[in-house]
Amino acid sequence: MTASASTPSTIIARFQVVWPGFTLDVDLQLPGRGVTALFGPSGSGKTSILRCVAGLERATSGYLAVNGQVWQDDARRAFTPTHRRPIGYVFQEASLFSHLSVRRNLEFGLKRTPVAEHQVGLEQTIALLGIGHLLDRRPERLSGGERQRVAIARALAASPRLLLMDEPLAALDLERKGEILPYLERLHGELDIPVLYVSHSPDEVARLADHVVYLEAGRARAVGPLNEILTRPDLPLVHLDEAAAVLDARVAGHDEVYHLTEVSIPGGRLAVSHSALPVGAWTRVRIHARDVSLALQPPERSSIQNMLPARVLDVRGDRDPAQALVRLDLGEGAILLARVTRRSVAHLGIAPGVEVYAQVKSVALMD
């Protein structure tokens, strides 16, 4: 493909690499904005793709264009070396310069880009990642989560056109992951820099991604918007304990008496724990399949207040032979998952096309 064939706001990546015992062979056309997660089991090729995009690994046959800029085109013998690609790269380990303070580490990132090309202000980056109080410390005086936030800030200081993140939370414990995820969500919401995010964690993907590439054995088995991939019945994701749907939502109001927030989603409204988001703000909600039960009629008296009319798309077997996975259409292209017993499916006559009420026991607001 020639340079003229690449499209602005699109990442086109075609790589073929053959190693002993493993072959990477992908042909991807991805959004040139937002967060695209490269997701799949260990050894599926996630990091290999990132290294090819960075130019750290040269594909045997490759083509790469990022928002109209061609960085590799083997048909024309064109290859932009890593140091000339406007990327930021965040690894599993922070890899900060131990002899420099946090401030000096950030200034190093700043020097990689000419002043005229700076798109992200250093003060903005410091504020987004909440590291203003750390600037005079050395890396050895930082926690794991703090080091990773500084590493992300250093990558952003170079004003990259593309941010590459290779399992940035993998080396952190649950507490530190919980500390850093809100900062990653802020970056997602406030910076217009496309991100390729490698992860094997469904939780991270659900919280951060807009688009997903699901990889197996060096090939892209599925590519699409987040909820489409999370709810595809032919993919392993729907059979995980964490199987869930992630839906766009808009804040509709706040109930100060019961400390709840109401959000509108396709098919109705949901009450969630109180949020500081203003009325009208867009957010996302995550609904686990295990937290959805089904009824043929609206229950008259129930502690479950969130209820959505839906139509059954299909019913599939699950990993547990006593369970079934039901996909539900809420309208406007929104899909919900319900994990119920096979006995309930038989008793209620749940089948494709049946109209039901989805009772949602728990909703996570991803603000």
Distance CA 123, CA 126 (A): 5
Look at residue 2 and tell me whether its pLDDT is greater than 50: no
pLDDT at 249 over 90: yes
Residue 318: is its pLDDT beyond 60?
yes
Distance (Å, rounded) from C-alpha 155 to C-alpha 60?
A: 28
Which position has the token pair 């659900």?
Answer: 206
- Residue 92 tokens, joined: 């599993």
Q: Which two tokens stand for residue 217?
A: 């054995």
Using one digit for the tens of pLDDT, what is the confidence trace for 46-63? 999 999 999 999 988 999
What CATH number has the domain spanning 3-230?
A: 3.40.50.300
Q: In terms of pLDDT, which residue wins out, 302 or 210?
A: 210
Please give the span between the terminal C-alpha atoms of the chain, in angstroms, as a whole number.
40
Q: What percent of the chain has pLDDT over 70?
A: 95
Give the pLDDT confidence score for residue 107 in this predicted structure. 87
- Give the pLDDT mean for 254-276: 93
Lowest-confidence pick of 53-67, 185-199, 209-223: 185-199
Sketch the domain layout of the chain as residue ranges.
3-230, 244-366
d(CA 200, CA 211): 15
Lowest mean per-residue pLDDT among 117-121, 235-239, 290-294, 315-319? 117-121
Using CA atoms, how far apart are residues 30 and 36, in angstroms rounded to an integer?
A: 8
Kind and range of the H or E run holding 102: helix 102-111
Percent of the chain with pLDDT over 90: 71
- pLDDT at residue 3 in the model: 40
Q: Which has more confidence, 190 or 1?
A: 190
Residue 137, pLDDT > 90, answer yes
Given a cut of 80, whether residue 115 has pLDDT beyond it is no
Q: What is the pTM of this model?
A: 0.89
- Specify the pLDDT at position 92: 86
Inter-residue contact 141 to 150 (CB < 8 Å): no
- φ, ψ at 8 (rounded to 5°): -55, 150
Mean pLDDT of 277-289: 94
Question: What's the gap between Cα 316 and its chain centre?
Answer: 26
244-366: CATH topology is OB fold (Dihydrolipoamide Acetyltransferase, E2P) (2.40.50)
pLDDT the model gives residue 298? 87
CA pair distance 130, 110, nearest whole angstrom: 18
- CA-based diameter of the chain, in Å? 70
Query: Positive or negative CA dihedral for 79, 82, 84, 87?
Result: positive
Residues 6 or more apart whose Cβ sits within 8 Å of residue 84: none
In the predicted model, is pLDDT for residue 119 greater than 70?
A: no
> Band of the pLDDT at 118, cuts 50, 70, 90?
low
**Residues in CB range of 50: below 8 A, 6 or more apart:** 38, 89, 164, 166, 196, 198
- Among 86-95, 236-245, 298-307, 357-366, name the one with the lowest average pLDDT: 298-307
| Main-chain phi, psi angles of 163, to 5 degrees | -110, 125
Cα angle value 340/233/308 (rounded, 5°): 50
Specify the pLDDT at position 367. Answer: 65
- The CA distances from residue 324 to 47, 106, 340, in Å, are 34, 51, 6
d(CA 189, CA 179): 17
Using one digit for the tens of pLDDT, what is the confidence trace for 65-114?
999 999 999 999 999 999 999 999 998 887 888 899 999 999 887 776 66
CA–CA dist 157, 125 (Å, integer) = 7
1 has pLDDT over 50 = no
C-beta of residue 262 within 8 angstroms of C-beta of residue 366:
no
Strand order in the sheet with 61-66: 22-31, 10-19, 61-66, 69-73, 78-79
Residue-by-residue DSSP string for 28-86: EEEESSSEEEEE-STTSSHHHHHHHHHTSS--SEEEEEETTEEEEEGGGTEE--GGGS-
The owner of tokens 């996975």 is 325
Residues 239, 319 contacting (CB under 8 angstroms) = yes
pLDDT for 345: 97
Q: Indicate whether 281 pLDDT > 50.
A: yes
The DSSP annotation for 234-246 comes to TSGGGGSTT-EEE
Q: Is 363 helix (H, G, I), strand (E, B) or coil?
A: coil
As a whole number, the mean pLDDT across the chain is: 91
- Region 295-319: mean pLDDT is 91
Range in 172-186, 194-208, 240-254 the model is least confident about: 172-186
**Contacts (Cβ under 8 Å, ≥6 apart) of 343:** 322
Give the mean model confidence (pLDDT) for residues 337-356.
97
Residue 93: the pLDDT is 84
